């Protein structure tokens, strides 16, 4: 027995071991069981494919397939068993590969030692047989030759068998690859079908066909119950269908949460929850959900816009500003975002930035009447009334049926003392909304200013009919009644307004005036002193108190209040004349003449001031100055109604 013989035996054993391994791993294919569901067929095919990858040493691809099954069903025993087997085998191979170079060297030395021992034994045997006969040697040689031939024959047979197994393995591998490709194609086709169904559902939702939309989502889920997007869009459809329905809200929340469990990185269900919470005015929860949606889909301007609205509702105006600006960054044509950014800047006290935001909205959409209205309001706050009127006139042209726009336009024209345009704007507002108490009040007021007392009374009556608890409405009714000469009705209306608001200044003053004119000075002073308590610095209150005290012959009190009124309005003429009368009554001629002289400077055509000043100068022993004053009076106004009295003084 020589070294070749040993190598032949070793090779034969190795071939046998390899062949056994091939036979072990290359078992026959299991037949497909009839009557399986589509989902179960896919599961079995996936397991089969994973086993093939495992047998070919592609452990990671095998694990990926097994994991996909376990994600769908964590209790799948076959998948779990195969997973554990793959992990164990890969770990064992890893351990084997991790054997150190020293261990490999020692193992090789051990093999060499065994080979040397074997050869030594063989050498001893040969030495012991040297004494054998020549015949025995020849016999052994023949036997050795025969064995060598037998080994060669068996080796050739084994090689042929291995080649056949190799061909069969390659055919089997090709078949598996084809099956795997078919499975992958089927999976792609299924996913394509699912996406097509979801797209159809979304299109139906845009058309508000929510039942049909859910039909498409359900069909997608019948192909794969774990399609998170289909579940999420189904929840969204329930919310859009009716956000006021408890049932719809409940289902929207249910499906949104299911979708999140299937895929935590999908933004749609978080966005749906944000909408649900916003509809329930649960702003904190809404903000949290919108923030999650925005993190998952930061390029979506709508999510950021809705987040900004929720933050605005919570009074977090600076956060809302950031969200609206981020929405505009993603979509610089987002008109609603510009509008809400403008409102937010107003809350932050930045009227300039607010004006810029509203102007941007108009630049993108020139037909946006709301943005124009807001521009008008901001310009009005700045007292830029012309610009405010210009913007609001554009708004009413775009929205001619918007009564508040017309009412505000009437207010702006009133501020500009353009009573005609003001009354037309109010009338236009009332054509649209005839039962608006504020507009009826405003129109009554402007008509009074135009001297149209009778028409004003009709609108004042309507204002009170619409809202009898308004001190403003009751006051304007009293004012209109007073201007129409119905003083009793006026007094009643003023007193009713004071029952609503005991400190309503205009009603207190006007009651005082009426009672003063009626000679009821105690009543007049009663209401005017109440008005003085409300506003002691009011020019109107002090002037009327001066009148009442003058008529009641309480001249010192009259002088006090006339002086306060004149301090508020130095160019007032009648008050100065009355102050001079009070000075005359208290024998303060010098102050009276000073007051009249100032009055003539303010109004050179105040003829009674000339007459009264000349009269005082004659009484004070200043005839030359008196003549100059009175002659100037007759030169300037030859038709002065008291000319005869002037001529008598001059004669």
Delineate the domains of the chain, giving CATH numbers in brackets.
Answer: 570-651 (1.25.40.10)
At 7, the pLDDT band (50, 70, 90 cuts) reads: very low
At 325, the pLDDT band (50, 70, 90 cuts) reads: very high
Which CA distances in Å does 8 have to 123, 149, 152, 196, 285? 19, 11, 8, 64, 79
At 196, the pLDDT band (50, 70, 90 cuts) reads: very high
Radius of gyration of the chain (CA): 53
Q: Which position has the token pair 């010098």?
A: 590
* Burial of residue 179, with CB atoms counted within 10 A of its CB: 0-12 exposed, 13-18 middle, 19 or more buried: middle
> Inter-axis angle of helices 228-241 and 246-262, to 10 degrees?
160
Task: State the Cα–Cα distance between residues 443 and 426, nearest whole angstrom.
Answer: 6
At 98, the pLDDT band (50, 70, 90 cuts) reads: low
Q: DSSP letter string over 184-209?
A: HHHHHHHHHHHHHHHHHHHHHHHTT-
pLDDT tens-digit readout, 208-239: 999 999 999 999 999 999 999 999 999 999 99
Instruction: Specify the pLDDT at position 335.
Output: 97
Q: Count how many Cα atoms sit within 13 Å of the Cα of residue 375 in the half-sphere of its side chain.
A: 25
Any idea which of 113-122, 184-193, 408-417, 451-460 has the lowest mean pLDDT?
113-122
Instruction: Specify the pLDDT at position 136.
Output: 61
Instruction: Specify the pLDDT at position 95.
Output: 67
Instruction: Specify the pLDDT at position 47.
Output: 83
* Burial of residue 466, with CB atoms counted within 10 A of its CB: 0-12 exposed, 13-18 middle, 19 or more buried: middle
Residues 6 or more apart in contact with residue 520 via CB below 8 angstroms: none
Instruction: Specify the pLDDT at position 595.
Output: 95
Tell me, yes or no, if the pTM score tops 0.75: no
End-to-end, the C-alpha distance of the chain in Å comes to 178
pLDDT tens-digit readout, 109-140: 565 555 445 445 544 444 444 444 456 666 66
Q: What percent of the chain has pLDDT over 70?
A: 87
Task: State the Cα–Cα distance between residues 631 and 607, nearest whole angstrom.
Answer: 12
Any idea which of 166-170, 450-454, 467-471 has the lowest mean pLDDT?
166-170
Residues 6 or more apart in contact with residue 376 via CB below 8 angstroms: 387, 388, 389, 391, 392, 395, 408, 412
Residue 331 φ/ψ, nearest 5 degrees: -145, 95
**141 vs 398, higher pLDDT:** 398
pLDDT tens-digit readout, 326-359: 999 999 999 999 999 999 999 999 999 999 999 9
Task: State the Cα–Cα distance between residues 126 and 212, nearest whole angstrom.
Answer: 94
Instruction: Specify the pLDDT at position 137.
Output: 61
pLDDT tens-digit readout, 236-263: 999 999 999 999 999 999 999 999 999 9
Residues 6 or more apart in contact with residue 507 via CB below 8 angstroms: 471, 474, 475, 478, 494, 495, 497, 498
**465 vs 9, higher pLDDT:** 465
Residues 6 or more apart in contact with residue 427 via CB below 8 angstroms: 443
**384 vs 19, higher pLDDT:** 384
**18 vs 158, higher pLDDT:** 158
In this structure, are residues 365 and 371 in contact, taking their beta carbons and an 8 Å threshold? yes
Q: Is residue 456 over pLDDT 70?
A: yes
Report the 10 Å Cβ neighbour count for 313.
Answer: 14
Instruction: Specify the pLDDT at position 55.
Output: 85
């Amino acid at each position: 027995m020589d070294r070749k013989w040993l190598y032949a035996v070793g090779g034969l054993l190795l071939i046998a071991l390899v062949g056994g391994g091939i036979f072990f791993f290359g078992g026959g294919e299991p037949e497909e069981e009839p009557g399986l569901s589509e989902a179960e067929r896919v599961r079995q095919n996936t397991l089969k494919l994973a086993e093939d990858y495992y047998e070919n040493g592609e452990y990671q691809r095998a694990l990926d397939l097994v994991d996909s099954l376990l994600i769908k069903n964590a209790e799948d025993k076959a998948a779990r068993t195969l997973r554990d087997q793959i992990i164990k085998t890969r770990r064992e191979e890893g351990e084997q590969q991790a054997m150190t170079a020293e261990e490999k060297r020692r193992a090789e030395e051990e093999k060499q030692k065994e080979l040397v021992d074997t050869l030594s034994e063989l050498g001893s045997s040969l030495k012991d047989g040297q004494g054998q006969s020549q015949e025995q040697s020849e016999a052994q040689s023949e036997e050795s030759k025969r064995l060598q031939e037998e080994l060669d024959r068996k080796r050739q047979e084994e090689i042929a068998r291995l080649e056949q197994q190799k061909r069969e393995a390659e055919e089997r591998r090709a078949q598996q690859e084809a099956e795997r490709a078919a499975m992958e194609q089927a999976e792609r086709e299924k996913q394509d079908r699912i996406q097509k169904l979801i797209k159809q559902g979304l299109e139906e939702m845009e058309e508000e066909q929510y039942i049909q939309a859910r039909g498409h989502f359900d069909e997608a889920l019948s192909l794969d119950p774990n399609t998170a997007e289909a579940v999420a869009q189904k929840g969204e459809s329930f919310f859009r269908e009716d956000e006021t329905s408890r049932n719809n809200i409940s289902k929207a929340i249910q499906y949104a949460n299911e979708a999140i469990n299937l895929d935590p990185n999908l933004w749609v269900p978080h966005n749906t929850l944000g909408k649900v919470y916003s509809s329930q005015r649960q702003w904190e929860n809404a903000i949290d959900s919108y923030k999650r949606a925005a993190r998952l889909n930061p390029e979506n301007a709508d999510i950021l816009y809705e987040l900004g609205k929720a933050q605005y509702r919570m009074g977090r105006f600076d956060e809302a500003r950031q969200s609206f600006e981020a929405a505009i960054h993603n979509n610089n044509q987002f008109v609603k975002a510009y509008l809400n950014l403008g409102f937010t800047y107003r809350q932050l006290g930045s009227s300039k930035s607010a004006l810029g935001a509203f102007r941007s909205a108009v630049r993108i959409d020139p037909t946006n009447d709301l943005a124009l209205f807001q521009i008008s309001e901001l310009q009005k706050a700045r007292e830029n009334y012309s610009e405010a009127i210009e913007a609001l006139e554009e708004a009413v042209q775009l929205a001619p049926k918007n009564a508040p726009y017309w009412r505000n336009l009437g207010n702006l024209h009133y501020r500009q003392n353009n009573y005609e345009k003001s009354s037309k704007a109010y009338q236009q507002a009332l054509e649209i909304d005839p039962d608006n108490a504020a507009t009826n009040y405003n129109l009554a007021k402007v008509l009074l200013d135009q001297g149209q007392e009778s028409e004003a009374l009709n609108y004042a009556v309507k204002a009170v009919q619409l809202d009898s608890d308004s001190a403003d409405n009751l006051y304007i009714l009293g004012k209109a009644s007073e201007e129409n000469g119905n003083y009793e009705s006026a007094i009643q209306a003023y007193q009713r307004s004071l029952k609503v608001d005991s400190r309503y200044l205009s009603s207190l003053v006007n009651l005082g005036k009426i009672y003063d004119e009626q000679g009821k000075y105690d009543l007049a002073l009663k209401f005017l002193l109440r008005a003085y308590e409300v506003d002691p610095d009011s020019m109107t209150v002090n002037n009327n108190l001066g009148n009442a005290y003058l008529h009641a012959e309480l001249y010192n009190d009259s002088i006090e209040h006339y002086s306060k009124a004149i301090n508020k309005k130095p160019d007032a003429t009648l008050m100065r004349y009355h102050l001079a009368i009070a000075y005359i009554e208290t024998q303060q001629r010098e102050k009276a003449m000073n007051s009249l002289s100032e009055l003539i400077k303010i109004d050179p055509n105040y003829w009674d001031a000339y007459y009264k000043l000349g009269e005082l100068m004659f009484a004070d022993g200043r005839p030359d100055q008196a003549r100059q004053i009175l002659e100037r009076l007759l030169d300037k106004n030859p038709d002065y109604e008291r000319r005869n009295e002037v001529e008598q003084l001059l004669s």
